[in-house]
Structures are given as structure tokens and as C-alpha cells.
Amino acid sequence: MRKPDVGKVTYKRMFQQLVAGGGAGLVEICLMHPLDVVKTRFQLQGSGSSVQYRSVAHCFGTMYRTEGFLSFYKGILPPILAETPKRAVKFFCFERYQHLFSGGGDKTPLVYSLAGLCSGLTEGLVCNPFERIKILLQSEKDVKLKDQESTFSKARQIIRNEGFGMKGINRGLTATLGRHGVWNMVYFGVFHSFKEYIPKSESQTQQVVYKLCLGLTAGTLASVINIPYDVAKSRIQGPQPIPGQIKYYGAHSTIVMIYKEEGFLALYKGLVPKFLRLGPSGAIMMFVYESLSEFLAKKY
């Protein structure tokens, strides 16, 4: 009897994850990016910031008046360029880590969580340079999108002035690893652990609603738990309070510094726009990914 061609199955699966994950990422970014910009603006606000946003609505209004409608899409190219490999890495690695931690046997909530953590850490390594560029572009106030330098020009500027390392294009790597590791650990752990308890229904619409609600819950919970790393990442990768001097560097030292200087609640700056973005994103991403993945499985 002929043995299955494991290599062909693996490459086929990788291709499906690349297309399905890339599609899910593109849809999610295009729909939710304005909230990511607003979240970053809140997180960059320190005690000495010249502009203080009072609410999500105030931030949207201020940006619209001073920077124009397209300012809500500042820094969108780096995440779009990163989403295809990022989502491919996320879903492909999650599948492989599941198999590794379960030994090919039954999968438990611990297996899902560990697989999510490791896939998030891998994802963070891939996307961190794009995140550094995105944060710098999003942080530029009173500059209209058409007047901003391009993504590629910003990347060249960072590399030329600061290099490729942890003080240059890869600044904030530890915070990015913390953010993605924790988010994916909670998100995949919750979604896949409770997915089997979704009530069976002959109604396709009802099944879609159940999955969207579960994805929303998992994404929201993950966003609330990982936000201190997200705030630290924005401070590390964004403009420093004193130009030319690096105040924020390591993830945990930055978290401690923010806590001491601005209080506990400062670690949750940007929670509302993050909640509004990544809660629905969790639902959108998993729904689009699973739908595309199933479609590709049937077609190929």
C-alpha cells in the first residue's frame, strides 16, 4: 500500500494557510485600521504630550479637522505588507505546534494555549520591523497623509540612522513578542477550547453567528489581557519624549516606568479603541480564515 505523501500534504496546507490567512488579514486591516491609529495616539500620550485626546470621538474629530479623513489610514501599508506572511505564519505554526504539544493525540485547552503562545512569538518575529515603521507613521500629528514620507522611505531612514538591530528597525522586539504571544495564547486557547461546545444547528446562519460571537469574545478577552505590552510597544517604537535620547527600551522596564510615572491605568491607555478593533477583528479574522480554508479544501 502506498504511503501518503506527507510533503505534498504539508505544502498544500501551507498554500491554503497563506491564501486564507492573507485574505483574513487583508479584510481585517482594511476594516479596522482607523481604530488602530486612534489606539496608538492614546498610547503615545504621556504627561507632557502637547495634544491630549479626551475620548475616542474627540481623537477622531481632532484628527479629521487637523489632518484630514485619510489620516485614519496612516501607516496602513506596513501591516498590509506584513499580513500575508504574518497570518500564514500564525495559522501554519499554530497547526504544527498543536501537533507537537499534543503528540498527535487529544488536544486540551493547555495544548491550544501553548500552541497559540508559540505561534504568537513566531508571528512577532516576522512582523516587528513593520510594526516599528507603522507606529512612527501613525504618531505623526498635524501631517496629512499625502504629505507623509512613504513607508519605504521611512524604513530606509530608520535603517540608515539606527541600523537593523534592537535599537533600529527591530526596536521593541521584546514588547512585540509579549503582545503577540499573550494575545494568541488567550485567543486560540479560548476559541478552540469552547468551539466544540457550540450548539449544533442545521441553520448555516446560526452557526456563523455562534462562531462570530465566540471569535468576538476570544478577541476581546485577549485584547484586555495583553494591552500593557501593547502600550509599552507603542512607547518603545514611537518617538521618544526627548529626541535623541532613548527613554523606553525593554518591555518590562517600560511597563514598570509607565506604572511609576503615570499610574496603573496608564498601562491601559487605548483600551477602548483596541477593544473596539480587536474584539470584532477576532471574529472577522477567524470567520474569514475558516471560510476561505474550507473553500480551498473543497476546490483543491
Domain total of the chain: 1
Query: Any residues with CB less than 8 A from the CB of 250 and at least 6 apart, and which?
Result: 174, 236
Query: Considering the domain boundaries, does residue 138 fall inside one?
Result: yes
Q: What domain range includes position 134?
A: 8-299
The percent of residues above 90 in pLDDT, for the chain, comes to 44
Which residue matches cell numbers 514620507? 149
Q: Report yes or no: 44 and 235 within 8 Å, Cβ to Cβ.
A: yes
183-207: average pLDDT: 89
Query: Considering the domain boundaries, does residue 131 fall inside one?
Result: yes
Query: Considering the domain boundaries, does residue 96 fall inside one?
Result: yes
Query: Considering the domain boundaries, does residue 42 fall inside one?
Result: yes
Q: Report yes or no: 215 and 283 within 8 Å, Cβ to Cβ.
A: yes
pTM for the whole structure: 0.81
Q: What residue spans of 6-76 are helical by DSSP H?
A: 6-44, 56-67
Query: Considering the domain boundaries, does residue 178 fall inside one?
Result: yes
Query: Considering the domain boundaries, does residue 256 fall inside one?
Result: yes
Confidence of residue 208 (pLDDT cuts 50, 70, 90): confident
Task: Tell me what pLDDT residue 8 has.
Answer: 44
Query: Considering the domain boundaries, does residue 1 fall inside one?
Result: no
C-alpha span between 269 and 4 (Å, rounded): 52
For residue 259, the domain's CATH number is 1.50.40.10
Chain-centroid distance, C-alpha 233 = 12
Question: First and final CA of the chain: distance in angstroms?
Answer: 24
Tens digit of pLDDT for each residue in 6-58?
444 467 766 777 788 778 878 888 888 898 899 889 888 875 566 688 898 99
Query: Considering the domain boundaries, does residue 3 fall inside one?
Result: no
